[in-house]
Structure 1
Amino acid sequence: MSGSLRKGLYVLSFGGIAALLVLVLWRRELYLPLSLLMIGLVMLPFFIRFERRRLRAEELLLVAMLGAIAAVSRVPFAALPSVQPVSFVVIMAALVFGAETGFLVGSIAAVASNLMLGQGPWTPWQMFSWGMIGFTAGLLRHTRFMASRWGRAAFGFGWGFLFGWIMNLWSLLGFYDRLSWPAFASVYAASFYFDLAHALSNVFFLTLFSGIWLNILGRVKQKYGLLENGRAG
């Protein structure tokens, strides 16, 4: 897919998102189908671009395996709200294999883990949120910031809050008949503890284990030539 076509697809998708968001605010009763369509439009360019590449079976298996690892890693921490290593695994996948792989691993992790923890209208929002963690980590993977352990920790800390803020939007749209500043304030204040727990758990996993994971995944990529630049990265 050419760069201009890819950019055009991204612009059209995000333009559609903006239109759907306005429609959701206007027709509140259509919240669920419109929100699902909204998240689907966001994910469409990434899945199309990924599907158009010539991938080996080993590469597809690797993406599925990383998504499964991220999903399963969420289950043992289910009793601790917002404390889980999913974001860590997604960031590691993106730093080694690229933005698109990171997006897909995050999306797969959300829907797969919810098969065990419970599906609902929050699932597509989680797919988008974890996918964007991977996508942004992949975009920054060659920067000096992400080469530093503390830079990765700061990235994980910031996304711990961003993840929660995105998820708060579906709560506001789904459970509040009227949107107001007090409603926004109450939802975001109530989520602060959970967002902080997510952010601090990201810092914990990234600070202690990111070096080891980067070495292991980097060796796998180098040894087997999986998801090299220009293929699915």
Structure 2
Amino acid sequence: MKRKLLTLLFVLVAAVLAVLAYAIWPTEDLNWAVTSFVLLLLGLGLFYLRFERAKVSSKEMALIASLAALAVVGRIIFAPFPNFKPTTYLILLAGFVFGPRAGFMVGATVALVSNMFFGQGPWTPWQMMAWGLAGATAGLYGRWRGEKVHPLELAVFGAVWGFLFGWIMNSWVWLTTFFPLNFTTFLAANAASFWFDVSHATANVLFALLLTRSFLPTLYRFRKKLTTISLEVQTDEKIQH
């Protein structure tokens, strides 16, 4: 209940700050790039704060680190191929199997860690949020579909996120490099990256079709093993008390 109130409070504060910024500064004077950057940092801080206060076992922490490391390695290995990488697919798969919380943390961590190789910058929080949301929404989808999901479904889901990720990152480009900020320039920003977004979506589709049948059962077996261990620990604690 406290976490829900904290989330609601953040949303209200962020909305009030955005309205005040728009009211105090004329449109031509307001630096929307900086404003959006601050709001993104507040949002990421809220997610990390909730994760830090949640009851997360050491095994879940190790799992998140391992999946994030795998996605980071995938991004580095496929670096020569623009936007054609298994990174987003692995983040989606992590969220689908282990839930929204794990999915968001894997996605956000991948962006932060991999950019130590590719370069940190004001785009990093945008990537953290974009990949984090991809993992979180995959977690919600996984709760609905479960193990009966077909690889084609994950392929379609990955294709959608290939474009959504691009549009989120295009928003950063639009806010920082385009003037004036209007619908026409926003369309121009998205049109400029269209083929990169197509490449991203295509990669997600291919990796989903090629890897899901082998990866998904393995991750589900690992999740069941992790759940069994957790239940045994809780039972032992109750007996001791």
Do they fold alike, i.e. is TM over 0.5? yes
Contact 1:82/1:198 (<8 A) preserved: yes
Which residue identity does 1:140 align to in structure 2?
A: Y
Separation in structure 2 between the aligned mates of residue 138 and residue 9 of structure 1, nearest angstrom: 21
Partner secondary structure for residue 143 of structure 2? coil
Q: Which runs of 5+ in 2 are unaligned?
A: 232-241
Q: CA deviation at 1:70?
A: 1.0
Separation in structure 2 between the aligned mates of residue 78 and residue 215 of structure 1, nearest angstrom: 28
TM-score under structure 2 normalisation? 0.84
TM-score under structure 1 normalisation? 0.86
The worse-fitting range, judged by mean Cα deviation, of 96-105 and 135-144 is 135-144
Separation in structure 2 between the aligned mates of residue 131 and residue 48 of structure 1, nearest angstrom: 14
Which residue identity does 2:194 align to in structure 1?
A: F
Contact 1:71/1:109 (<8 A) preserved: yes
Alignment of 1:60-139 (within 5 A): 60-139=61-140
Task: Tell me which residue corresponds to 2:169.
Answer: 167
Which residue identity does 2:219 align to in structure 1?
A: L
Separation in structure 2 between the aligned mates of residue 19 and residue 196 of structure 1, nearest angstrom: 36
Partner secondary structure for residue 121 of structure 2? coil
Separation in structure 2 between the aligned mates of residue 71 and residue 225 of structure 1, nearest angstrom: 26
Alignment of 1:11-90 (within 5 A): 11-20=8-17, 23=21, 26=27, 27-29=29-31, 31-32=33-34, 34-90=35-91
Contact 1:149/1:207 (<8 A) preserved: yes
Separation in structure 1 between the aligned mates of residue 4 and residue 185 of structure 2, nearest angstrom: 36
Q: Please give the root-mean-square deviation of Cα atoms over the aligned residues, in Å.
A: 2.5
Q: Which runs of 5+ in 1 are unaligned?
A: none
Which residue identity does 2:47 align to in structure 1?
A: F
Q: Which has the larger radius of gyration?
A: 2
**Structure possessing the higher relative contact order (Cα contacts under 8 Å, 6 or more residues apart):** 1
Are the structure 2 counterparts of residues 28 and 71 from structure 1 closer, same or farther at C-alpha, using a change threshold of 3 Å?
farther
Contact 1:59/1:226 (<8 A) preserved: no
Task: Tell me which residue corresponds to 1:183.
Answer: 185
Separation in structure 2 between the aligned mates of residue 30 and residue 173 of structure 1, nearest angstrom: 6
Q: CA deviation at 1:200?
A: 0.8
Separation in structure 2 between the aligned mates of residue 169 and residue 155 of structure 1, nearest angstrom: 21
Contact 2:100/2:135 (<8 A) preserved: yes
Contact 1:90/1:105 (<8 A) preserved: yes
- Alignment: residue pair count: 225
Q: CA deviation at 1:222?
A: 1.6
The worse-fitting range, judged by mean Cα deviation, of 80-89 and 14-23 is 14-23
Partner secondary structure for residue 11 of structure 2? helix
Contact 1:220/1:226 (<8 A) preserved: no
